[in-house]
Structure formats: structure tokens, C-alpha cells
Amino acid sequence: MKITGAQAVMKSLINEGVDVIFGYPGGAIMPIYDALFDYGKKIRHILVRHEQGASHAAEGYARILGKPGVCFATSGPGATNLVTGITDAMLDSVPIVCITGQVSLSVLGTDAFQETDIVGVTTPITKWNYQVTHAEEIPLAIRRAFHIARTGRPGPTLVDITKNAQFDTFEYSYPKDVDLPGYRIPSDPDELKIKKAAELINQAKKPLLLVGHGILISRAEKELLKLAEKAGILVASTLHGLSAFPTGHHLYTGMLGMHGNYAPNLLTNKADVIIAVGMRFDDRVTGRLSDYAKQAKIIHIDIDPAELNKNVKVDVDIVADAQKGIRGLLKYVKKNSHSQWIEEFKKLEKKEYDIVIVPTTHPREGELKMAEIIRILSEKTNGEAVIVADVGQHQMITARYYRFKKPHSFITSGGLGTMGFALPAAMGAKVAAPTREVIAVIGDGSFQMTIQELATIAQEKLPVKIIILNNNFLGMVRQWQQLFFDRRYSFVDLKNPDFIQVAKGFYIPGHKVERREDIETSIDTLLKTEGPYLLEVVVEKEDNVFPMMPTGASVEEMRLE
């Protein structure tokens, strides 16, 4: 039977198990939307209010389920509006498949109305992209897009389909297999390297496990726990590794990075063996590279060989999926404990607790602090909610003080640091996890970048809970201006709208809280309300995030105040 290219798109998505699409229609993708009209019972389409929201929502969906999120956009500005989300997905290894409409082949390259070379634009920020100009190319192109997006190191792909290809008809069949010469997925890890790594771990006196997003991508949380407990190794997490290891576990020592915990950052430069799994040694974790872990033997397990020896030269490099890599180590690693080493961490943890944590999470007077809000939220939700954080001070505070008990509970923009990420990403997360509490924690500056997605939340009746931590500043920039630019606050002061009235305009209830005695009941109201709810919390204007590792500093130069 002959079908149109537009119908082939929908059949191909069904073959890939797609049940949700985030998108926004337009002229060049209209035939596909017409075909989508007949698939309403099989595929849920969520109409965002801006294409950037579609790509971030697809990310949130993918981060929860591990399968590609899908977004649609039309040509020209529709396609280019996806670019921020595509870049975000590329840097954070999130599988999304973007399908864009394009002008007809007959006018391609003539600067036709709403024509943009989106394949050229997105080549540096996708794992793979392709422009379809004939209908019969559609099945294989979509098959490849999904295969590449989800295999190996996940990431974004894009298929651009000209309008004539959407209208033309052909004999449809969907390929079962995909042949991609040159595209190789890592096989089982090298056994000799696994044995060498295990030998180093068994001989170590001061080992430290650094875990990243790769643990969650490969669903290796159980294996990680077994390895840490068997070998008695302390675990520190990157920002994207949060929730891969229970924060309440006695071997968990906190978060790495610029605003991470004091002990794991300082003692990175005291460890004799570092086992890094599914993380990429980015600059926020390493600080000044010339002074990073020079004393340690370093084992690095990552599915992407390009990450091995890229920033940090290592002693054992293992190309492997995190789950397979850890399973390999478990066969050879011996039962052990490192009580003296653990005591060194406890001393530094106590110092951070007294100087930073107690004053910020349990203040007795003064203005509300971001950390006390997150601490109360964590307690009220028993550490079991899905937390979607935007970018800025509130992001670091949330990462530091929410006590994650379940895997796949923290979603944020790490590599790109995209303000405006959280609201649409929370929509995608809620669609993916309808039975879990999904809470977006957003700063007042970030909220205004994608505020229009409140309309999507209202229309779709998504029970996303939103907390705005409002300091009437671009807080993280202001902190840097305070500490490193002599308090020359250059264009960071915000005159904000009445967020509660704005939310009501979108038919979303909410309220504003400014007094400490009202916080607990306000969070109770947020959590107990059926449907979406917005809670605005006015916090201290010049509340800073500590510890802090200044740019260009060593991990040993963390500041507690």
C-alpha cells in the first residue's frame, strides 16, 4: 500500500514506540500534523508555547525514562528555536529526536520564506542529522535517528523533511536493522584493564569513587551500591550524578564541583586511587587542571572513548557502559574498609556543617534563605520527589540540600547551564512519570525565560508543582560581582512582575510567602493541591552559595565563606 511521507513519519514513530510528542505546528510541517490528527489515540501531542519548550520537555521526558523524547517544529524560526534545547541535550547526553519541516525541494536553497539550513546549523550540536528530500527516505532516516540517539553515549538527532517529501507517496516498509558503517557501539570492557583497575582498588588506602550521569543512563545504580559497599569506597557525585547513590548512605560524601561539598573536593587531592565512572572531568569538577589529583592513580570508565584522557590523563582507561564496567570490577574487587580515610572526610564534613550548613538550613532570624526552603521541601517529600532545577544559585542550593533517595530524581541543565530549562523540562518529566511528584525549583530570572509554558501546563492539566525562589536578582551573577568585582552590580537587579497574578492569568493557583513561620504550611499547600500550583518564596537578596571554588582555582582552594 502506498502512503504519503507524512503518514510514513507517523507509522515510523509508532514502530519506535513513541507515545508522546512535544511540538508546535507551522506551514512546512503541516502535512505531518495533518497525519498526526489520525493518531490521537496512539500518540499524545503536547502543544508547547515555544519550540525551545518542546526540546526541553523532550529532555525531561527522556531523562526520566531513558528513551528518546520527540519534538516537532516547522522550518525557519521554528527549527532554530529548538537549537538551545538540542545543544543542552548534546552536552548532557540526553537522547532526543527532533523532526523539523522544511521548504519544498523545488525552492530549497533559494532563501524561500521560512527557509533555514537547519542541518548546517545543528551539525555541531547533534550526534547525527539528515535532510530528507524524497518520501522513500523517511523510514530509514527515522530508524537511524532513534538508533543513534539512544545507543552508545546518548544524544540528540534531527531529521529535516522537505514539504514535497511529506506529500509524495511510496510503498512503505520499516527497516528492522540499521547498518551504519563507522558507527560502532563499545562491546564488553577489556578484561585485562578491568583486572588492572581492580588490582589498584584492592591496593588502595585512600580510594574515592566519582560518579556521573553515566551511572543513571546505564541504570547502574545497584551495581554502584554493591561496588561501594564491597570495597568500602566513599562515593562523590557530579551534578548530573545526583540521585545515582542514596544521599543518606554512610559512604556518600556529597557533590563535587564549584559549589559542591567541602570534603570530596579537598580530599580529591589526597586520594591515592580515583575511580571515575560515567563522568567527563569537566572544568567545574576539576578546577585548575595542573593541580588536579596529581598524587592519584586514576581509573576512568566511560562509554565514549573521546572522553578518556581528554582533560585528565588516567592510568587505566576502560571503554564501557557504566553497568558493564562496574560488573566487571565486582568480579575482582576484594572486600575492604577504609575507616581512617573515612575519618578524614568526617572532620571536613563537620567543619562544613558548622560553618555553612547549619546557618543556612536552620537560620534562627533574618530573611528567608534558599537552603532552608529546600531542606524543608526535602523533609516534606521524604526525598522521593523528582526535582527539576533551573540554573543559578537555586540550582546549586537544590543540588546541595535536597536528600535524594530514589534514582532519576534530579533533572537540571549542567553542561550548557540553560536558564529557562526547568519549567518545560518539568512538563516532560511529569508526562514521563505521572505517579511521581514533580517539583520545579526556579529562580525569578530563569522563570521569566520560559514563563509562557504555564499555558501548556494549564491546557494539559499537568500537576507540576513550581517553587520560585525570588531574590529579585540574577543571583549567581550578582554573587560573582560581589566577590570578584567589588560589588559593582552591573545589570542584575530585577523588577519582577507579580508572579502569583501571572499564574492566575494562566488559571494556575498559587500564593506568595515571605515569613519563616508560614513556610511549612505553604509547602504543605503546594504538595496537597491537586493539579499545578505555584509557590513564590521571597528569599534574602544577597544570600550566597558556599562552599565555592573560584574559577581557575584548585579543588584545594574551596572557600567556606
DSSP assignment of 61-72, as one string?
HHHHHSS-EEEE
- Grid cell for residue 16: 519506535
Q: How far apart are the first and last CA of the chain?
A: 70
Which SS3 state, helix, strand or coil, does residue 464 take?
coil
Choose the catalytic residue: 10, 258, 449, 476: 476
DSSP 506: T
Choose the catalytic residue: 2, 113, 191, 484: 113
Q: Which of 170, 98, 180 is nearest to 133 (CA)?
A: 170
Apex 317 CA angle, 312 and 318, nearest 5: 140
CA 296, CA 208: separation in Å to the nearest integer? Answer: 10
Q: Which pLDDT score is estimated for 186?
A: 77
User: Rounded to 5 degrees, what are φ and ψ at 15?
Assistant: -60, -25
DSSP 328: H
pLDDT block averages, 10 residues each, the chain of length 561 = 96 98 98 96 97 98 98 98 98 98 97 97 98 98 97 97 98 92 84 98 98 97 98 98 96 96 96 97 94 96 96 97 97 96 97 97 95 98 98 97 97 97 98 98 97 98 98 93 94 95 98 97 98 97 94 92 89
C-alpha R_g of the chain: 24
Give catalytic status of residue 113 as yes or no: yes
Q: Which pLDDT score is estimated for 301?
A: 98
Give catalytic status of residue 114 as yes or no: yes
CA 84, CA 72: separation in Å to the nearest integer? Answer: 14
Q: Which pLDDT score is estimated for 220?
A: 98
Q: Which pLDDT score is estimated for 284?
A: 92
pTM of the model: 0.96
Contact assessment for residue 508 and residue 454, using Cβ atoms and an 8 Å cutoff: yes
CA 4, CA 10: separation in Å to the nearest integer? Answer: 10
Please, what are the domains in the chain? 2-171 (3.40.50.970), 191-345 (3.40.50.1220), 368-538 (3.40.50.970)
Give catalytic status of residue 548 as yes or no: no
Please, which contacts does 358-365 make with residues 24 or more away whose CB atoms are closer than 8 Å? 360/543, 361/401, 363/516
- Grid cell for residue 175: 527497516
List the helix and strand counts (H, then E) for the chain: 24, 20
Q: Which pLDDT score is estimated for 491?
A: 94
Q: Which pLDDT score is estimated for 185?
A: 80
Choose the catalytic residue: 10, 11, 16, 51: 51
Choose the catalytic residue: 67, 163, 193, 369: 163
Choose the catalytic residue: 30, 114, 195, 557: 114
Give catalytic status of residue 453 as yes or no: no
The gap from C-alpha 202 to its chain's centroid, in whole angstroms, comes to 33
Give catalytic status of residue 540 as yes or no: no
